[in-house]
């Protein structure tokens, strides 16, 4: 009986450790992998033909997204199949344009901050902070900022390419973003184009030297190439859900750490179990002693 109770306690502890995302390695608050080979938006997008896009695959193919909590900073890691720097961007990557829309507070918006990505967001998790990452600058915006605002530059941000030559690591002071413990994320990967709206290289119907093909010649197909999607959803389906006729953008769903309520609930359950089990052990011991004394 005693051994059984001990085993029960150990099992509960293991369940608790497994379910608490904060207790993972290196203080990861959240991490998610993304399939390789899906940098095709809704399944049809193809690379521009300019030689600047060599090797014509992998540059926009997100493989992994991690968020770490380190002292006064949040560290974001974005792993891609391939990173190149033909235009000598100061942070070491020329092509990737990443926008991380974050829901970590009450209120927020369901439309993009600036026109460009051609998507909209799930009304259940409206975003309130936006991190915009490219090889030249890192910006953070609040949903209440004016889209015309030129500010947002995070001079304290630190950016580097990790030794695997595939991972962009961005460190941003927590005070610029707010608490991410229960955050939900929309992660959009586009192709950086200094001349386009919000720097998204357009995806049109016919591919050309500087534009992606496989889209439409309207303003409604997404200009994003890869996104993270919740486990029960398909990227192809989500990114093809736009409606040219009715002028509707595709709706993106957020991803995020499993609800904090569930890990809190586990802590409560384990505590309750201990409270109930310990007196039972004591009672059982007493009964056993009484039995032996008889
Ligand atoms: Ca991918
Ligand atoms: Ca994807």
Residues 145-200 pLDDT 10s: 988 777 677 877 899 999 999 999 999 999 999 999 999 999 999 999 999 989 99
Q: Which ligand is nearest to the CA of 228?
A: 2
Sheet architecture: strand order including 62-70: 28-33, 62-70, 73-80, 167-173, 158-161
Give 52's Cβ-side CA count (13 Å radius). Answer: 17
The neighbouring-strand residues paired with 203 are 212
Say whether pLDDT at 7 is over 70. Answer: no
Closest CA to 168 of 64, 256, 240: 64
Residue 117 CA to ligand 1 centre (angstroms): 17
Residue 138 CA to ligand 1 centre (angstroms): 22
The full set of domain ranges for the chain reads 2-10+261-293, 34-257
> How sure is the predictor about 5, in pLDDT bands with cuts at 50, 70 and 90?
low
C-beta of residue 34 within 8 angstroms of C-beta of residue 79: no
Residue 227 CA to ligand 2 centre (angstroms): 4
Residue 290 CA to ligand 2 centre (angstroms): 65
Residue 237 CA to ligand 1 centre (angstroms): 15
Residues 219-235 pLDDT 10s: 999 999 999 999 999 99
Residue 130 CA to ligand 2 centre (angstroms): 19
Residue 132 CA to ligand 1 centre (angstroms): 19
> How sure is the predictor about 21, in pLDDT bands with cuts at 50, 70 and 90?
very low
Residue 63 CA to ligand 1 centre (angstroms): 5
Residue 37 CA to ligand 1 centre (angstroms): 6
Residue 236 CA to ligand 1 centre (angstroms): 12
pLDDT at 3: 62
Other beta carbons within 10 Å of 198 = 18
Q: CA 9 to CA 3: how far, in whole Å? A: 10
* CATH number listed for the domain at residues 34-257: 2.60.40.1190
Mean pLDDT of the chain: 88
Say whether pLDDT at 14 is over 60. Answer: no
CA distance from start to end of the chain? 20
Q: How far is CA 252 from CA 5, 52, 126, 140, 280, in A?
A: 46, 30, 11, 20, 50
Residue 85 CA to ligand 2 centre (angstroms): 22
Residues 31-54 pLDDT 10s: 999 999 999 999 999 999 999 999
Residue 35 CA to ligand 2 centre (angstroms): 6
pLDDT at 179: 97
> How sure is the predictor about 260, in pLDDT bands with cuts at 50, 70 and 90?
very low
Q: How far, rounded to the nearest angstrom, does the alpha carbon of residue 30 sit from its chain's CA centroid?
A: 8
C-beta of residue 249 within 8 angstroms of C-beta of residue 118: yes
C-beta of residue 238 within 8 angstroms of C-beta of residue 261: no
């Amino acid at each position: 009986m005693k051994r059984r109770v001990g085993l029960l306690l150990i099992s509960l502890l293991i369940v608790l450790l497994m379910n608490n995302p904060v207790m993972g390695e290196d203080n990861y608050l959240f991490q998610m992998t993304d399939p390789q080979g899906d940098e095709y938006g809704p399944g049809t997008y193809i690379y521009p033909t300019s030689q600047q896009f060599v090797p014509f695959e992998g540059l926009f193919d997100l493989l992994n997204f991690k968020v770490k909590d380190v002292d006064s900073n949040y560290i974001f890691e974005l792993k891609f199949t391939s990173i190149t720097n033909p235009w000598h961007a100061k942070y070491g990557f020329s092509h990737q344009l990443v926008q991380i829309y974050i829901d970590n507070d009450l209120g927020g918006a369901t439309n993009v901050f600036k026109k460009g990505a051609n998507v909209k967001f799930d009304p259940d998790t409206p975003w309130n902070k936006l991190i915009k990452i490219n090889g030249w600058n890192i910006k953070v915006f609040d949903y209440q900022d004016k889209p015309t605002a030129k500010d947002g530059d995070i001079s304290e941000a630190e950016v580097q390419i990790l030794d695997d030559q595939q991972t962009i690591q961005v460190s941003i002071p927590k005070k610029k973003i707010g608490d991410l413990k229960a955050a939900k994320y929309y992660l959009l990967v586009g192709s950086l184009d200094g001349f386009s709206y919000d720097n998204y290289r357009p995806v049109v119907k016919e591919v050309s030297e500087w534009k992606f093909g496989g889209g439409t010649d309207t303003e409604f197909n997404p200009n994003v190439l890869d996104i993270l999607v919740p486990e029960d959803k398909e990227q192809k389906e989500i990114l093809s859900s736009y409606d040219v006729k009715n002028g509707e953008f595709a709706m993106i769903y957020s991803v995020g750490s499993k609800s904090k309520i569930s890990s809190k609930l586990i802590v409560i359950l384990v505590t309750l179990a201990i409270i109930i089990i310990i007196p039972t052990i004591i009672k059982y011991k007493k009964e056993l002693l009484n039995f032996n004394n008889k």
